[in-house]
Amino acid sequence: MGFIPLTFLFSSYSGKQNELFCYYYEKHAMIFHFDNSYGKLPESFYIPTNPTQVPDPSVLLFNDNLARELDLSPDNMDMEEAAALFSGNKMIPGSFPIAQAYAGHQFGNFTMLGDGRAILLGEHITKAGNRFDIQLKGSGYTAFSRGGDGRATLRAMLREYLISEAMAGLKIPTTRSLAVLKTGAKVYREEVHEGAILTRIASSHIRVGTFEFANRFVPNESSILLDYVIDRHYPDLNLSKSKARDLMEAVMLKQIDLIVQWMRVGFIHGVMNTDNMSIAGETIDYGPCAFMNTYHPETVFSSIDTQGRYAFGNQPSIAQWNIACFAGSLLSMIHEEKEVAIEMAKEVLNSFPAIYQEKWQDMMFKKLGFSKETDLQRRKNSLSTLLDWMTKNKADYTNTFLVLQGDMPMEGIYLQEDFQSWFTNWQDMERGNEEARLKRMRENNPLFIPRNYLVEKALDEACLNDDLRFFKELLDIFTNPYAQNASAASFMKVPDSIDTGYKTFCGT
Ligand code: AMP
Ligand code: MG
């Protein structure tokens, strides 16, 4: 490996000098351990497709920490080789590139979809035996591209990288981002953009829409998908006597947990179509998502969500709607008699609201630092009074909790009499348990969230000025959102009229 002591000698020098000395090292290619189980499903589930070659690939961002978690040794990586591999210009040994077939309900309407601009290279197995999809997003035409170009813009891929890594930092299940590459080709939207490819890592890319695809187009193969998903994601259900029903319930519970986490941090997914709901319960597809600043359940940022179908406060009921679609695609496997199957599915589905409400309430109680011993009715009243007050006073969702835990100054609207009397009551509720209360709050209330104006500024600087410094600074802060960081205090501030007119796009 050569010159190892040099890392110690020069580790205190600037990045540039380190880079220089890296040339003394032997560069190495990354070694994947592929086992492509999805590619062994019947051929209706995918179409073997190679990524389209790109003219001049270069690695713009590489997630060393994630690479280490995946047992891919990133140190001293050969960047030219990495550019070739993660652009799809060179095949990674052992990969079996495919475009996955899936359908989905988009804004309530059923459509055939599929990977139109993404290619699954295969499943990489870590030393501990964990399986991860390695997918290239923006890698060119597939049979599912329909009218699209199969490409992605640099801005959209940087946005996905930043927000998905922020979600991981917030400890919320999510697909991850391993790399962003520039392709060297232009992508044409309303304006001309630089083209990019994101390497996306996921427990799998199997969606509710994958089951809808199977049920509609290859119903005889639905049970193969069912068994595959149970083996891969819910192996305990192999012992079940009612696998399809129990899978429906397990996926529902995973979704409930996920949505509760979104509600904890003010995350608005923005396009909760059934093709964007992962069977493994990870947040997937960072198109028009955004974080809510001012608290209001009706908050929507997506330019195409004119009816507010995917508004912040609608996310739980939309998740239930999506699970109903999932149930619909499982019915024939839930019970051979349709009426019985419907009754069984309904029973599961009807349990959604109460389970969600209980979990959401528990989560909100943690944000307020309540212990389980404190009177339940008093906790409920305190929570609902606070949420009403926040709505009425246009309070910032994140910072209100930070004011309570003493990490933001109590000033402005928080000095109003109604808030102060609520605050005194809240303090009285955990009198004597302040330390435990603070601990609970700090574990659940992030200090930093990807504020829309910060994200846009970072993307502007990266895409318009070719300057990634601010992007990387934000990435550092957002990936450690619970850590006290005095030097980053300005990133907690909320400028006036923060989101006036702010819109997000299914930017591709
Ligand atoms: P999304 O909005 O990213 O969930 O994508 C919805 C569907 O549109 C999926 O089938 C995508 O593969 C497809 N799609 C999105 N952008 C493009 C593109 N630029 N070219 C081809 N297909 C696309
Ligand atoms: Mg999608």
Catalytic residue list contains 275: yes
DSSP 312: G
Cβ of 142 below 6 Å from ligand 1: no
Cβ of 149 below 6 Å from ligand 1: yes
Cα 326 to Cα 330: distance, rounded to the nearest angstrom: 6
**Would you state the pLDDT for residue 349?**
98
3-state secondary structure of 44: helix
**Residues 30, 82 contacting (CB under 8 angstroms):** yes
> Can you tell me which atom of ligand 1 is nearest the CA of 506?
2
**Residues 447, 492 contacting (CB under 8 angstroms):** yes
Cα 165 to Cα 426: distance, rounded to the nearest angstrom: 34
- CA–centroid distance, 117 to ligand 1, in Å, is 6
Cα 53 to Cα 22: distance, rounded to the nearest angstrom: 29
Cβ of 188 below 6 Å from ligand 1: no
Which of 115, 133, 246, 275 is catalytic? The answer is: 275
3-state secondary structure of 244: helix
Cβ of 285 below 6 Å from ligand 1: yes
Element (H, E) at 188: strand 176-188
Cα 451 to Cα 207: distance, rounded to the nearest angstrom: 28
Which residues make beta-bridge pairs with 48?
98
The CA angle 158-451-424, to the nearest 5 degrees, is 155
Token output for 398: 């994140």
> Can you tell me which atom of ligand 1 is nearest the CA of 152?
19
Angle between helices 352-367 and 243-265 (to 10 degrees): 30
Q: Which of 77, 90, 47, 71 lies closest to 132 in space, CA to CA?
A: 71
Cβ of 113 below 6 Å from ligand 1: yes
**Would you state the pLDDT for residue 508?**
61
Token output for 407: 């990490």
For residue 231, count other CB atoms closer than 10 A to its CB.
12
Per-residue model confidence as pLDDT tens for the chain (508 residues): 333 333 333 333 333 333 333 334 567 778 899 999 999 999 999 999 999 999 999 999 999 999 999 999 888 889 999 999 999 999 999 999 999 999 999 999 999 999 999 999 999 999 999 999 999 999 999 999 999 999 999 999 999 999 999 999 999 999 999 999 999 999 999 999 999 999 999 999 999 999 999 999 999 999 999 999 999 999 999 999 999 999 999 999 999 999 999 999 999 999 999 999 999 999 999 999 999 999 999 999 999 999 999 999 999 999 999 999 999 999 999 999 999 999 999 999 999 999 999 999 999 999 999 999 999 999 999 999 999 999 999 999 999 999 999 999 999 999 999 999 999 999 999 999 999 999 999 999 999 999 999 999 999 999 999 999 999 999 999 999 999 999 999 999 998 888 989 999 886 6
- CA–centroid distance, 219 to ligand 1, in Å, is 24
> Can you tell me which atom of ligand 1 is nearest the CA of 142?
21
* Ligand 2 (single-atom ion) residues, CB below 5 Å: 276, 285
Which residues make beta-bridge pairs with 268?
290
Q: What are phi and psi of 351, to 5 degrees?
A: -80, -10
**Residues 418, 340 contacting (CB under 8 angstroms):** no
Token output for 292: 């809510």
**Would you state the pLDDT for residue 497?**
84
- Burial of 357-394, coded b for 16+ CB within 10 Å and e otherwise, reads eebbeeebbbbbbbeeebeeeebeebbebbbebbeebe
